[in-house]
Amino acid sequence: MPFRYFDYFRRPARMTVDDCDIPELTEVWDPKQSKLVENAVAETDLFFGANGTQIISEEEFEALLKRVSA
Domain coordinates in residue numbering, the chain: 3-69
> What average pLDDT score do residues 44-67 get?
91
What's the one-letter identity of residue 53? T
Residue 17 has pLDDT above 70, yes or no: yes
Calculate Rg over the CA atoms of the chain.
11
pLDDT of residue 61: 97
Is there a contact between 17 and 5 (Cβ–Cβ < 8 Å)? Answer: no
| Total-model pTM | 0.88
